[in-house]
Amino acid sequence: MTGKALIIRHAQLTDLGKIAEIESQAFENVWTEENLRKEICASFSMMLVAEANGEIAGYISAWKITGEIQINRLAVAASHRRRGIARRLIETLIDQSGMAPPYKILLEVREMNIAARALYRSLNFSENGFRKSYYRNDNAILLEKEIK
């Protein structure tokens, strides 16, 4: 995808419907539109969307906590995957966080989520923790990346 075709920007309340649609297709423990609305509005939260040719193709939602960014959600619509959108969302989150290095980016991922683990590995996140049965039907891997 060319740089011109893909725009990463802050989410707006008018994006809620499309974000909720991608959310419901991507996750089992779906966040409701109300949960998502709170994430868009909270002062400590950062939600970015990827717009591909005018259509919302994915989003990332994170909390900025002292010295840390916690990624809570990242999803790309199935029809837009493997085009570098998730990578751009993470890179833009880091670029636009306004956090002063050094800080850490943290998240949990399902052990069986091969795509997400490969994505984070490609961005030099390290797998440095394990929570057995953290999810109803899976273990969690804790991921971390130090921004220097």
CB 100, min distance to ligand COA, A:
25
Instruction: Name which of 43 and 139 has its Cβ closer to ligand COA.
Output: 139
Q: Considering the complex, state which of residue 37 and residue 81 has its C-beta at the smaller distance from ligand COA.
A: 81
Rank residues 40 and 140 by Cβ distance to ligand COA and give the closer one. 140
CA dihedral 42, 110, 80, 12 (to 10 degrees): -10
How crowded is residue 111: how many other Cβ atoms within 10 Å of its Cβ? 16
Tokens standing for residue 49: 């969307």
CB of residue 23 to ligand COA, shortest distance in Å: 9
Query: Which amino acid, residue 84?
Result: G
* Cβ at position 128, least distance to ligand COA in Å: 15
Residue type, 135: Y
Residue type, 22: I
Nearer to ligand COA (CB atom), residue 33 or residue 138: 138
Backbone phi, psi, residue 128, to 5°: -130, 25
CB of 48 to ligand COA, least distance (A): 13
Please, is 84 exposed, middle or buried when counting C-beta atoms within 10 Å of its C-beta (0-12, 13-18, 19+)?
A: middle
Min separation Cβ 82 and ligand COA, Å: 5
| Nearest-angstrom CA–CA distance, 31 and 8 | 21
Which positions touch ligand COA (CB under 6 A)?
Answer: 26, 74-76, 81-87, 107, 109, 113-116, 118-119, 122
